[in-house]
Chains A and B, each alone.
Chain A
Amino acid sequence: MTTTLTLAKALGAGLRRAMTDDDRVVVMGEDVGRLGGVYRVTDGLQAEFGPRRVLDTPLAESGIIGTAVGLAVRGYRPVCEIQFDGFVFVAFDQIVSQLAKMHARTAGRVRLPITIRVPVGGGIGAAEHHSESPEALFAHVAGLRVVSVSNPQDAYTVLRQAIACDDPVVFFEPKRRYHAKAEVEDLPLALATPMDRAHVVREGRDVTLVTWGGLVVTALDAAVAASDDGVSVEVVDLQSLSPMDHETVAASVRRTGHLVVAHEAPRHAGLGAEVAATMTDRCFEYLEAAPVRVTGHGMPYPPARLESHYLPDLDRILDGVDRVLGRTTADPAPGASRPEPARAEAVR
């Protein structure tokens, strides 16, 4: 059965489904109850499941995660909403030192199946601390799984998978795509693609363009624009940022020989570096050029009127495609389409 839903509504539907299927699933966060969340993701859940399973919490993010840890010790599956990306750092100790480590430190005796939903990223003209992209900080932490969804279908399915997972999951939601609509199919979880897999969302021959979350749509737009210019771009929605599905990316890079990674977070020590390093390691002899990263700048997220100069957009992604192909926007080389593989040469 399919329904047309916005990404925000798809998340709400995923929560409702998970809560219906398992009465140990509880939703907690600031304003998630009567208000339904500032993005209305939890709209209607409190009326349906009551004020204790859909819990308005005090304004204390560390308290939200810390009490979720206790709830999970008692057998619950809390889904915590952090209202905005910039507020998650208040809970950093509980996430990094408590949540991520508990399974290891108890030799597997205590499982903490906690999902932390975090609206993420910029592009909405928001106030300070409302447009961050902190995914690398969490992907670096062993014990956590980190996912970033890009569309309503994945929002619905991957959220249910995250809640069902016995490991803690940091679940990033691209806030500028909350209102994007698409068909959502109610797949049984057993038939769904595992949440740690990347998706090739557009096939192409010349360049592998890897991104996730809010930039996937931008990357697809860039691929269309590139094709008008005779360049065939394959777009990979990484989705799982920890662990990363390097196999899917590597299979693509071996076909195209060119890698561009795009993310909103700053470049230095960002996840683009991890993708580029791993592909250099695994696909060295296939790469015809050094991987290119298209990212935010190394600075605090700027005020709204300047964010268009910070965020990778269609043109900057195309510029990255040109650079990896050895073209520049000023001097586009003809016949950019990749020649036949010259593997022997590349290996030398």
Chain B
Amino acid sequence: MVPSEPAVRTGSTVETLPKQHDGHRADTPRDARADRNDDPTTPAGADDPRGPEAGASEGAPVVRLLDEDGTRRPDPEHDRWLDDLDPGAGGPAREGLLRLYEDMVVARRLDAEATALQRQGELALWPPLLGQEAAQVGSARALRPDDFVFSSYREHAVASVRGAEPVDLVRVWRGVTVCGWDPYAIGMASPQVIIGAQALHATGWAMGVQLDVDAGRVDPAGGLPVGVAYVGDGAMSQGDVNEAFVFASTYRSPVVFVCQNNQWAISEPVALQSRVPLVERARGFGMPGVRVDGNDVLAVLAVTRAALDRSRHDGGPTLVEAVTYRMGPHTTADDPTRYRDAAEVEAWKGRDPVARFEAYLRGVGVLDDAGAERVRAAADSAAAALRAGCVALEDPPPLSLFDHVYAEPHAALARERADYARYLASFEEEGR
């Protein structure tokens, strides 16, 4: 299905985003402070000369299919992407809906378990995804196996959906490797720590798909495989992300940029990254942009499917801005109470993505107490596997350090390896 024309923005449903703090408490550059909202009764940006709709968070239409209480609202433009998930359509649709729910519940449970493992000293660090389950599961479940994900380091639920085992999520944070899985096995690159660098990799991968079509290696009739870049609101300021937009747009490459705007880049609010809603950047690069309620798994799934479909049929790139909230700290080493108000966090608790979808599923009769219990048990089982796998991870042997620096023989490194092996062996001789 190809939309007749790619809209610069889609969304028949216009939503006002929750009130939020757009500025630092202190030490914020003046321009960002203009959007600061110290009075929770005053809309963000109210003191902005451009009016209350100005600023990074307000004013752009948002696609939402589930209200915060789980009420499904019709939206013909996006509902057509969810035909297979009509709860009245029978078994496969109900299973599909339950799978989305289970993905989110398991993701949250694994995230909690990993946080606990860090607190117990089993992990060096952990970047929680709490609050971003719908943005990740909804987008990742839209993908085909032959698509390729280039993500940041918080996309644990994306990795799980792509096929990573629970223990694969923590290998990196245990410090035994810097890549928890085989990228080619699950179609997902190793998590990127340099903010935004992966957007270019996704774009280049997509340029490779175009070359594959030229060479007859990919049949475009089947719809192109798509490169998918996950970035955050902070990454939107990086040169690499903006360069990726330029390359993808001018080459019309099959790539979808999923920006999870979780409002905070460690302590920096999104207003420090942009004076306009991030989605509006898309227009300047000549690609469609769509802003979606990132805590609504159905809406995220629908808009990602639409964006992927456009890419698959030579429609080029799309920017999806999934508006969500980082409920936890940046990482387990962070203390968000130093820079954001409890009231803001409380307000977002009321928009919980898992509770919202659960309310919907119960309302349409897809989920009952027994079903919810089954999902909880599955999540507990995954968490147990994560814990068991984590504590069983052993330190790699020291000489494995040298194994993969180069793909081809390298005499200088071979010499260093031999020297270090001799050095290590000298301890064994001493011990004898």
- Do chains A and B stick together as partners? yes
**Residues of B175-194 whose CB lies within 8 A of A:** 177-179, 182-184, 189-190, 194
In the complex, what's the smallest C-beta–C-beta distance from A67 to chain B, in angstroms?
Answer: 3
Quick check: is B227 within 8 A (CB to CB) of the other chain?
Answer: yes
Whether the Cβ atoms of B197 and A243 lie closer than 8 Å is no
Residues of A within 8 A of B212 (CB): 74
A selection of 6 A-B contacts at a CB cut-off of 8 Å is A58-B243, A67-B247, A69-B204, A71-B208, A107-B404, A109-B183
A216 to B379, CA, bound (A): 66
In the complex, what's the smallest C-beta–C-beta distance from A108 to chain B, in angstroms?
Answer: 4
Chain B 223-259: CB-based contact to A (< 8 A → 1; otherwise 0): 0000100000000000110011011001000000000
In the complex, what's the smallest C-beta–C-beta distance from A106 to chain B, in angstroms?
Answer: 5
A55 to B203, CA, bound (A): 14
A65 to B194, CA, bound (A): 15
Residues of A within 8 A of B184 (CB): 109-110
Given contacts A52-B214, A143-B406, contact A70 B197 (CB under 8 A): no
Chain A 100-124: CB-based contact to B (< 8 A → 1; otherwise 0): 0001111111110100000000000
- Please tell me which one of the listed residues A26, A52, A106, A111 contacts residue B190 in the complex, with CB atoms under 8 A apart: A106
A50 to B215, CA, bound (A): 12
Quick check: is A60 within 8 A (CB to CB) of the other chain?
Answer: yes
Residues of B within 8 A of A111 (CB): 407
- Which of chain A's residues has its CB closest to B249's CB? A58
Quick check: is A73 within 8 A (CB to CB) of the other chain?
Answer: yes
Quick check: is A84 within 8 A (CB to CB) of the other chain?
Answer: no
- Please tell me which one of the listed residues B178, B204, B239, B413 contacts residue A67 in the complex, with CB atoms under 8 A apart: B204
Residues of B within 8 A of A52 (CB): 210-211, 214
Chain B positions within 8 Å of A, measured between CB atoms, are: 148, 150, 177-179, 182-184, 189-190, 194, 197, 199-212, 214-215, 227, 239-240, 243-244, 246-247, 250, 403-408, 410-413
A63-B244, A71-B205, A108-B403 are known contacts; what are 7 more A-B pairs with Cβ within 8 Å?
A58-B246, A76-B208, A106-B183, A109-B179, A166-B408, A243-B411, A243-B413
Residues of A within 8 A of B210 (CB): 52
Residues of A within 8 A of B407 (CB): 103, 108, 111, 113, 166-167
- Please tell me which one of the listed residues A70, A74, A98, A103 contacts residue B406 in the complex, with CB atoms under 8 A apart: A103
Residues of A within 8 A of B194 (CB): 93, 97-98
Whether the Cβ atoms of B197 and A73 lie closer than 8 Å is no
Given contacts A70-B205, A71-B205, A76-B208, contact A58 B247 (CB under 8 A): yes
In the complex, what's the smallest C-beta–C-beta distance from A195 to chain B, in angstroms?
Answer: 10
Quick check: is A314 within 8 A (CB to CB) of the other chain?
Answer: no
Whether the Cβ atoms of B227 and A70 lie closer than 8 Å is yes
In the complex, what's the smallest C-beta–C-beta distance from A208 to chain B, in angstroms?
Answer: 20
Whether the Cβ atoms of A70 and B204 lie closer than 8 Å is yes
Whether the Cβ atoms of B200 and A70 lie closer than 8 Å is yes
Chain A 213-246: CB-based contact to B (< 8 A → 1; otherwise 0): 0000000000000000000000000000011101
Select the residue from A71, A111, A145, A165 with max chain B CB neighbours within 10 A.
Answer: A71
In the complex, what's the smallest C-beta–C-beta distance from A153 to chain B, in angstroms?
Answer: 22
Quick check: is A62 within 8 A (CB to CB) of the other chain?
Answer: yes
Residues of A within 8 A of B200 (CB): 62-63, 65-67, 69-70, 94
In the complex, what's the smallest C-beta–C-beta distance from B175 to chain A, in angstroms?
Answer: 13
- Which of chain B's residues has its CB closest to A96's CB? B194
Quick check: is A205 within 8 A (CB to CB) of the other chain?
Answer: no
Quick check: is A23 within 8 A (CB to CB) of the other chain?
Answer: yes
Whether the Cβ atoms of A66 and B197 lie closer than 8 Å is yes
**Residues of A32-86 whose CB lies within 8 A of B:** 50, 52-53, 55, 57-58, 60, 62-63, 65-76
Quick check: is A201 within 8 A (CB to CB) of the other chain?
Answer: no
- Which of chain B's residues has its CB closest to A144's CB? B406
Chain A positions within 8 Å of B, measured between CB atoms, are: 23, 26, 50, 52-53, 55, 57-58, 60, 62-63, 65-76, 93-94, 97-98, 103-111, 113, 142-143, 145, 165-167, 196, 242-244, 246
A65 to B413, CA, bound (A): 25
Given contacts A71-B204, A76-B211, A105-B178, contact A66 B405 (CB under 8 A): no
A142 to B401, CA, bound (A): 12
Residues of A within 8 A of B209 (CB): 74
Whether the Cβ atoms of B197 and A97 lie closer than 8 Å is yes
Whether the Cβ atoms of A60 and B183 lie closer than 8 Å is no
Whether the Cβ atoms of B197 and A98 lie closer than 8 Å is yes
- Which of chain B's residues has its CB closest to A164's CB? B408
Whether the Cβ atoms of A60 and B247 lie closer than 8 Å is yes
Whether the Cβ atoms of B405 and A104 lie closer than 8 Å is yes
A55 to B210, CA, bound (A): 12
- Which of chain B's residues has its CB closest to A105's CB? B178
- Which of chain A's residues has its CB closest to B250's CB? A58
Residues of A within 8 A of B250 (CB): 58
- Please tell me which one of the listed residues A63, A75, A244 contacts residue B246 in the complex, with CB atoms under 8 A apart: A63
Whether the Cβ atoms of B208 and A104 lie closer than 8 Å is no
- Please tell me which one of the listed residues A23, A63, A74, A106 contacts residue B240 in the complex, with CB atoms under 8 A apart: A63
Given contacts A53-B211, A62-B243, A107-B177, contact A165 B408 (CB under 8 A): yes
Whether the Cβ atoms of B190 and A67 lie closer than 8 Å is no
Residues of A within 8 A of B247 (CB): 57-58, 60, 63, 67
A72 to B183, CA, bound (A): 13
- Which of chain B's residues has its CB closest to A244's CB? B412
Residues of A within 8 A of B406 (CB): 103, 143, 145, 167
Select the residue from A69, A103, A108 with max chain B CB neighbours within 10 A.
Answer: A69
Residues of B within 8 A of A76 (CB): 208, 211
Whether the Cβ atoms of A62 and B208 lie closer than 8 Å is no
A109 to B403, CA, bound (A): 12
- Which of chain A's residues has its CB closest to B201's CB? A70
Whether the Cβ atoms of A110 and B183 lie closer than 8 Å is yes
Residues of B within 8 A of A109 (CB): 179, 182-184
- Please tell me which one of the listed residues B201, B205, B411 contacts residue A98 in the complex, with CB atoms under 8 A apart: B201
In the complex, what's the smallest C-beta–C-beta distance from B220 to chain A, in angstroms?
Answer: 14
- Which of chain B's residues has its CB closest to A109's CB? B182
Whether the Cβ atoms of B208 and A75 lie closer than 8 Å is yes
A175 to B382, CA, bound (A): 59
- Which of chain A's residues has its CB closest to B211's CB? A52
In the complex, what's the smallest C-beta–C-beta distance from A63 to chain B, in angstroms?
Answer: 4
- Which of chain A's residues has its CB closest to B243's CB? A63
In the complex, what's the smallest C-beta–C-beta distance from B111 to chain A, in angstroms?
Answer: 23
A68 to B240, CA, bound (A): 13
A242 to B411, CA, bound (A): 10
Residues of A within 8 A of B410 (CB): 243
- Which of chain B's residues has its CB closest to A242's CB? B412
Given contacts A23-B215, A52-B211, A62-B243, contact A70 B203 (CB under 8 A): yes
In the complex, what's the smallest C-beta–C-beta distance from B241 to chain A, in angstroms?
Answer: 10
Whether the Cβ atoms of A196 and B204 lie closer than 8 Å is no
A58 to B250, CA, bound (A): 9
Residues of A within 8 A of B239 (CB): 60, 62
Whether the Cβ atoms of A103 and B214 lie closer than 8 Å is no
- Which of chain B's residues has its CB closest to A245's CB? B411
